[in-house]
Structure 1
Amino acid sequence: MTLKSHVKKNAYYDSVVLMQVTKELKKTEGIQEVIVGMGTDLNKELAENLGLLTEEIKNATANDFFVTLEGEETIDMEDILLKIKTLLNQKKTSGGEDYRPATLRSAMKVMPEANLAIFSIPGEYAFDEVKKALEQDLHVMLFSDNVSIEEEKELKELAQEKGLLMMGPDCGTAIINQTPLAFANVVKPGNIGIVGASGTGTQEVSVIIDKLGAGVSQVIGTGGRDLKEEIGGIMMLMGMDALEKDEKTEVIVLISKPPSEKVAHKILERVKACQKPVIVDFIDGDRKMIESYGAYACISLEDTAQKAVALSKGEKPKDFDGFSIDEKLIDEMVEKELSKYSQKQRYVRGLYTGGTLAEEAQTILTESLGEIFSNKPKKPERKLANVFKSEKHTVVDLGEDEFTIGKPHPMIDPSGRADRIVEEGQDEEVAVLLMDMVLGYGAHEDPAGEMIESIQQAKAQMESVNGHLTVVASICGTEGDPQDMEESRKKLEDAGVILLPSNAQAVKFVEKILKRIQ
């Protein structure tokens, strides 16, 4: 293998496009690893970590385009550059002929009636651009991450002062006036309003609400740090205010990982004063404290949806902590899997694209299995020594920064998880693979289909050592999503995947298996 690179001075290309080009180039015969990108410090660090950094790349600037690869000696860099040019032209053509304003000012001239701007730009540039939008009285959805918490606080205080929503940074999901934004699903309109500091958690709740025959009025994302003490829950409080005034909203749902105690009391004081029923899912939160303020506390994302639907129909909510499938059938499925394992097999590996779904899996499994290893563990001592290598019972959030540096989020590009599935299938102590399949706008056009080959390979590998690999999943999606829900389900089931109606039920099914083989 040999290392080859090329730098083109002062040639800018969109980072997402270059990630897609990198993915296509990896399929080239003879290439072991490749990066196509701009010469930013982040991309140089990625190149160094992958052993692809050359002196030429070191000297590149953020305005320079580069390609660096490790591959067979016979690979001709001129051929690679020609292929890159062809791929870039294809991306440009597929973008259509619509006018794309280069600045916020020019965009406002084209759409003077616009009142909301979505930003998905490198975090280092986000503050100045978002501030301009707020100063022009635009609500903002900030998809970008890597924005400092000090900048977030300043932007949210400005938005609060002007009575505007500032959703984010790192806000992945919203549905405003039935328009899905970023990663969001197509759900029926209804009378349930959601404010979520969790992207996939919010998606899971809205999707289950849809499956139960109800619908949502608005879904307001806040960004994951909104309930930290430094921010103080500014957007969650503003979101509650907006939903309480909204005539279409009759039930309010709040979703977040546990806030700081000070912010939790602040949010719950507002809940206590709200004239509409409020359901609070602070994942791993203090149920007694939540209920002491008159809110409905939840035990899972599915339970949150169930309670919201009950209240929306004027019914009394009750805990949902089991299966929507006949439990006798569940037990039969468990027994069938147990009969196939080798004596070595005992561990679960959770490979998640949704951070909150991974968090929920850890919460449920910890109750029966003890602490779980993770890249985002509940206790520091369970932090994986190497996030790319599992230990014992492991649940990994593949959407975290360490997996996405220089790469698209796994909900956009599932190839990283596909590779990890094959690796986990080579560990003879693994009994179960657990995963989510997130559909909706922004997600890959066929996330289920992208996993099939790897699942089959992992299962075959386990069979070759006289074992059996159980693969369990849930689909976070609706019939209205751009992906074909039924086709996704069929592909997974044909590959031997056991599908459960929700993430919570999928995890509980896995729990039943693991409690028997410990």
Structure 2
Amino acid sequence: MEESALVKLDIKQNTYYDSVTLMLISKDLKKLDGVEEALVGMGTDLNRDIAHNLGLVTPEFETITANDFFVAIRCENDDVMAAALAKVDELLTKKKENSSANYYPPTLSSAIKMDDQLNLAIISVPGKYAAGVADECLDHDINVMLFSDNVTIEEEKRLKEKAVSKELLMMGPDCGTAIINNVPLAFANVIRPGDIGIVGASGTGTQELSSLIGQFGGGVSQVIGTGGRDLKIEIGGLMMTFALDALIQDPKTKVIALTSKPPAEEIADKILKQAAASGKPVVVCFVGGDPEQVKKYGLIPALSLEDAARKAVALSKGEPVVDFTGFSAPDAEIDAIVKAETAKFAPTQKYVRGLYTGGTLCDEAMKMLTKAFGGVYSNIPLKPEFKLEDVNVGVENTCLDYGDDDFTRGRPHPMIDPSLRAERVVKESLDPTVAVILADCVIGYGSHPNPAEDLADAIRTAKANAEKDGRYLSVITSVCGTEEDPQSLSKTQQQLRDAGAVVMPTNSQATRLVERIISNIK
């Protein structure tokens, strides 16, 4: 029987569902018995391309328009297709029931009529529309968190200049994390109220910093995101400087923490000069940046995201500020882990593969591993010569950001759907040169309800694959989040331990452990 005879297609014309919902349904359908491949979506050009690439097209598929909803499945027979369509209806009905109690205004003007006290909007629309929606919100004196990306840098600068002139926040574009007046927004964690204010130009970096502040006994006043491009020359740090000034003026904020990738030098100098004049202690974590540049202004440099959190909490509590570059556990315990892991490797095993759902966590790991090993290959490399030719094939020491465009085209962000990263864990276990898998697990609002589940299943399979081949696979993980998050920090950590992973308290400690393990391979 030809493959095309196995492809079943169901089309509902002029029917709309949001893309993230449909992507997650596609994942659920693939778990059904008899289903080889599945795609549920709107008939956009992108989804049509994906369907062609997956071999999920029939002659009828060419009639689909962007306004049509479709289910395309490669399966064993009509009975399987019927079961799959029933599952789609069940999941869509559940989605509708969960949201039916709420009223969703179709336009900004109708939302304002419903509540004229609205003062913050979270915008997540296709990039070509995002700037216009943000513009309209600013015109109505509404602060903006712009989750959307694909906004031009010229539009970003114009929007931020407009926001600053009106004394409004313009967080983004591509801003995924904020906690405003103790309300977590988008990808954020449950952190107790406190006196530490954060401005972050990175999403998971801000999550790691704020979560660790919570774990170390501190609390936050505000967590303000800027979007990743804010510190580029073209934008000039417009939102970082505006948010920093807001924290300086805020009587509830006693300590300030700034985090981003290293900015352009002139932008860094402007921000550091402003922070130095604040009269408040400021911890600066330019991930992988030069601490001396920060010290020059009398500010406190952080050597990692964890170090930044520890220093901010110490300042908040009036305790001494010291550098943290080691481990929470005693040296003897770390030495025992290193000895136990390295003793089991086969002679071929000598490399690490870092597989990340958080881009800044991936970046932090790469910068630490580069210092130890001289270079790390990646889809987001620190140097052009370490750019992977094929992101699906690891080379020597490799770290991958699964939240980058290479892996999110036509898919939800890996913090929403971690299955693609989990598949890569299994794939890397088949490479006889791989000794260690390094992975993060990010919990909190916006993330998958149980992101450790897919990762734990993959770890078990990966370890079994290596054992069958006479090898041992070491898996080192860390969890970004708090005990109060819906998924629970301790429960998530235990899931990963039960699967055979070594779970470290932070990303930086996990990376240091990997350094020790790889360096001690004989």
TM-score (norm 2): 0.95
Give yes or no for the alignment of 1:357 onto 2:361: yes
After superposition, the Cα gap between the structure-2 partners of 1:88 and 1:265, relative to the gap in structure 1 and judged at 3 Å, is same
Q: 1:317 aligns with which of 318, 321, 333?
A: 321
Once the two structures are superposed, the pairs formed by residues 161-240 of structure 1 within 5 Å of their partners are 161-240=165-244
| CA deviation profile, 1:126-162 (whole Å, cap 9, x unmatched) | 1111111111111111111222222211211111111
**Contact 1:6 1:67 (C-alpha < 8 Å) held by counterparts:** yes
Percentage identity across paired residues of the two chains = 54
Give yes or no for the alignment of 1:342 onto 2:346: yes
Give yes or no for the alignment of 1:68 onto 2:78: no
Separation (CA, whole Å) in 1 of partners of 2:53 and 2:199: 38
In structure 1, the partner of 2:33 is 29
Measured after TM superposition, the shift of residue 55 of structure 1 is 5.9
In structure 1, the partner of 2:255 is 251
In structure 2, the partner of 1:421 is 425
Separation (CA, whole Å) in 1 of partners of 2:234 and 2:375: 29
Separation (CA, whole Å) in 1 of partners of 2:250 and 2:271: 19
Other structure's SS at 1:517 match: coil
Separation (CA, whole Å) in 1 of partners of 2:290 and 2:274: 17
Give yes or no for the alignment of 1:268 onto 2:263: no
Q: Give the letter aligned to residue 178 of structure 2.
A: A
Q: 1:148 aligns with which of 152, 165, 168?
A: 152
Other structure's SS at 2:41 match: strand
| Structure 2: runs of 5+ lacking an equivalent | none
Structure 1 residue ranges (4+ consecutive) displaced by more than 6 angstroms after TM superposition: none
Measured after TM superposition, the shift of residue 62 of structure 1 is 2.4
In structure 1, the partner of 2:299 is 295
Q: 2:103 aligns with which of 96, 99, 114?
A: 99
Q: 2:511 aligns with which of 507, 511, 515?
A: 507
**Contact 1:374 1:394 (C-alpha < 8 Å) held by counterparts:** yes
Other structure's SS at 1:181 match: strand
Q: 1:435 aligns with which of 434, 439, 443?
A: 439
**Contact 2:73 2:81 (C-alpha < 8 Å) held by counterparts:** no
| CA deviation profile, 1:324-372 (whole Å, cap 9, x unmatched) | 1101110011101111111111111111111000001001111111211
Give yes or no for the alignment of 1:396 onto 2:400: yes
| CA deviation profile, 1:57-101 (whole Å, cap 9, x unmatched) | 455332222333334465665654444333222211122422121
Separation (CA, whole Å) in 2 of partners of 1:203 and 1:76: 42
Measured after TM superposition, the shift of residue 437 of structure 1 is 1.2
- Comparing 121-130 with 461-470, greater Cα deviation is found at 121-130
Measured after TM superposition, the shift of residue 314 of structure 1 is 2.6
Separation (CA, whole Å) in 2 of partners of 1:333 and 1:79: 48
Measured after TM superposition, the shift of residue 273 of structure 1 is 2.2
**Contact 2:379 2:406 (C-alpha < 8 Å) held by counterparts:** no
In structure 2, the partner of 1:405 is 409
**Contact 1:280 1:296 (C-alpha < 8 Å) held by counterparts:** yes
Separation (CA, whole Å) in 1 of partners of 2:389 and 2:203: 27
Measured after TM superposition, the shift of residue 409 of structure 1 is 1.0
Give yes or no for the alignment of 1:118 onto 2:119: no
In structure 2, the partner of 1:19 is 23
Q: Give the letter aligned to residue 13 of structure 2.
A: K
State the superposition RMSD in angstroms: 1.8
Other structure's SS at 2:256 match: strand
After superposition, the Cα gap between the structure-2 partners of 1:55 and 1:295, relative to the gap in structure 1 and judged at 3 Å, is farther
Other structure's SS at 2:413 match: coil
**Contact 1:6 1:56 (C-alpha < 8 Å) held by counterparts:** no
Q: Give the letter aligned to residue 374 of structure 2.
A: G
Measured after TM superposition, the shift of residue 399 of structure 1 is 0.8
**Contact 1:30 1:75 (C-alpha < 8 Å) held by counterparts:** no
**Contact 2:352 2:397 (C-alpha < 8 Å) held by counterparts:** yes
The count of aligned residue pairs is 518
**Contact 1:46 1:405 (C-alpha < 8 Å) held by counterparts:** no
- Comparing 258-267 with 50-59, greater Cα deviation is found at 50-59
| CA deviation profile, 1:441-486 (whole Å, cap 9, x unmatched) | 1111111122222111110111111111111111111111111222
In structure 1, the partner of 2:311 is 307
Other structure's SS at 1:358 match: helix
